[in-house]
Structure 1
Amino acid sequence: MADLFDTPDTAPSGKPAPRPLADRIRPATIADVIGQAHLLGPDGPLGAMLAAGSLSSLILWGPPGVGKTTIARLLADRTDLHFIQISAIFTGVPDLKKVFEAARLRRSQGRGTLLFVDEIHRFNKAQQDGFLPYMEDGTILLVGATTENPSFELNAALLSRAQVLVLERLSLTDLERLAQRAEQVLVRPLPLTAPAREALLEMADGDGRALLNLVEQVMAWKLAAPLDTEALAARLMRRAAKYDKSGDEHYNLISALHKSVRGSDPDAALYWFARMLEGGEDPRYLARRLVRMSIEDIGLADPQCQAHCLHAWEVFERLGSPEGELALAQAVIYLALAPKSNAGYVAYKAARAEARRTGSEPPPKHILNAPTKLMKGQGYGEGYAYDHDAEDGFSGQNYFPGTMRRPVLYQPVERGFERDLKKRLDWFAKLREKRGG
């Protein structure tokens, strides 16, 4: 049964297939793992489980190349569980049934099974339910790996039976340690200058597997002298930034852009804006979100922001990419430096809440039109004060339902144009109090 998912270790010629560097330097023990100290250290959840001799089902959530498969395999070794690895992309229901049957047989013989499911989010919700009875009766200890947010991709029943652990991108320090380990295995140093070495680490973008592939590629070159950064860039095609326009990274980056604008940091806002463009994001999506930011976070503190964003969007539509993207970038800067107020946004949400609470209350009769004699007889329009005829153009009448206590919904801030609006509100409030409205 274990052979069902094994990969042949010989080439068609009969000679052993060359092992990738990433496989050759795979850690032999948990202590050898580079990175993820927050999980594997003595105070981390996995470290504590192993110290206690008790391991539960897990979901390992993190970006590619950070050790999810390696950690799962080492956990099986450490706990003396039979290790089975499958991928949700290539595994169907019949294959799963065979895995479960073999695990049940193995359990009856006194040994447990750690089932590692790569890309577990690829299974649909019904397939995910298929794991539950085997997890509950101890037939398998499930370790799932996913690059997607488990909250959205895994069903609640599965999540309730497994602990979610978040793995982090490898730091530059982690990647340097990994490069040094590769040099020890290959018994020679990387033929790079110090700046070029640092550039290589940055190209890996926190992905250990990607770094080892790059190291393997560099080591295969026959060089007379170490390469500098410029020569390295000429030989290597820079890896595309990891960016899934439909996945978590999409929402993470737009959140970073939005919060940088809200935090009045134009440099950070431009950086995240550029990250999304470099990842292939549709500039029209960014234009739409910039308009939303101008309404939600700036509002009437600078009424020109909305017009500025709409104009930048129009410029992009006329010029196209890449020229039109500069107009959007300037809108990002303008938004970040604009005075901030969410008073309009807060007032709108409060008004919706009041409308839901008092949705059946009619308007007061004095502000209703009376186009018929019957309606006039019912008091429609009676006592209405025409504001243009009142002193200061303000009658101070009540416009809320008669049974409703007057709420305060819009509360402008002392920033930007809203300072002037607050003065007007305060003035109207004093007149209203004076005239008993």
Structure 2
Amino acid sequence: MAKLTSYTCAKCGGVLNIDSDQELFDCPFCGTNFDMVDFHRKDMLSEAELSLKRMEFLSANERYTEMFNKNPNDFEALRGLALCAGKIPSKDDLTNPKRLIKHDMEKTESFIKKNSEYCSGYPYFKKLLEIISLCRKYKNLLKIKAGVKSVTQLRIRRLGNGDGLYEKNEFAKIANYERVTVDNTNKKLIDIEAELSESCLELENLEPSASNSVQYSVNSVNNESASVTVSNIICIKCGGQLVMDDKRKLCECRSCGVAYGTSLFFGVPNRKAKEALLKKEFNEADQRYSYMLMLDPHDFEALRGRVNCAAKWTCVNYNAEVTSFWINNVRSRVEYAYEKALDSDKPYFVKYRELVEAYGKVLEQDNRIKPLIRKSKELNVKKSNIVADIEPDENVCLYAHKTIDKTIHDVDNQITPLKMKKNECLESVKAICHEISEMDKERLLKMPG
């Protein structure tokens, strides 16, 4: 379930009202006004940073782009988009050269240069370009150092394996060449590391400080905006209907004070959810499908999507190995989907129920097989130790060897039928997966257009 944010006054704790005309959150209790854009900006930043940390760059890029489109000079949006371009999961990597060189620095550099009109207003980005340039030199020197070592080793091996005779001084020359080259490279590396360390400290100091979002003003006029309408979206927190302000792109629950951005519900959310699912950004996709269910609790695509998110599938799939946690998680989603689905969609989720039960049988066989496999391995280790320890006494060794061999044979005989049973269960899983895939194809053919 997605985390919901309730907006309350930082001064007195009262629930804030929305003043659409002035783009403010207004506290009716103490008269404090808060900038509306800043409130949502913080939420979007938090979500974008979380997506970056999860390496879900598509969803992070989407949030930073929304902020950038609203204000192209927004520093956090610009840096976030630069991170997404280079697939860098944290701003901390920008001040850690050893981590930064592992990412696509060139794409980050390209983004900054392409958007120089906006980035030039911040010395931070100029310094970041300098760091990227130094990192490029640093990376090349590391390659040279590694290359010299590997080439030298190869030359020595060739000399040693050759048909002719070689003087000892040949090896000395090669070793001396490597030492001189590596020493020179190390000096350059030390110089660049010192320069990078200094530049990274400067970069941290150049980061702009966050602006103050609180504004104190007279109470706003309590006029209802012409763009405010009652929506059919149900608040998860209290069950009330959300009031939608199309002009300000906000949905607010007048019962409990929770506010949402309308972009969560509109702008083809199903397409955005599918894109996240195909990118295997399952947390992002699950959140979007959850918002779709706020619009329509019976939405088939959203119900099926959340099942696939729990299973970590882009579509119904076959797993040879599963865990009890995985089965319980998927089962709870399937049961929820069956409960909420329309009668015409219930047979589809009945088939998913069968799939979960089939996977349960696979896990049951696995839980029987694994202890026996461990036991067989332990017995084989004991067998090798017995042969080694009692080798001088051939009669004792032979008796112990035969005894443990029989035990291993008995254990293996128990494993074989269980593996056969597991394979039967896996075939059942494959068959159900195929049936669900066929049902998906039928639904696709029936879709209009």
Fold match, TM over 0.5? Answer: no
Q: Determine which structure has the larger helix proportion and give its number.
A: 2
TM-score (norm. length: structure 2): 0.28
TM-score (norm. length: structure 1): 0.28
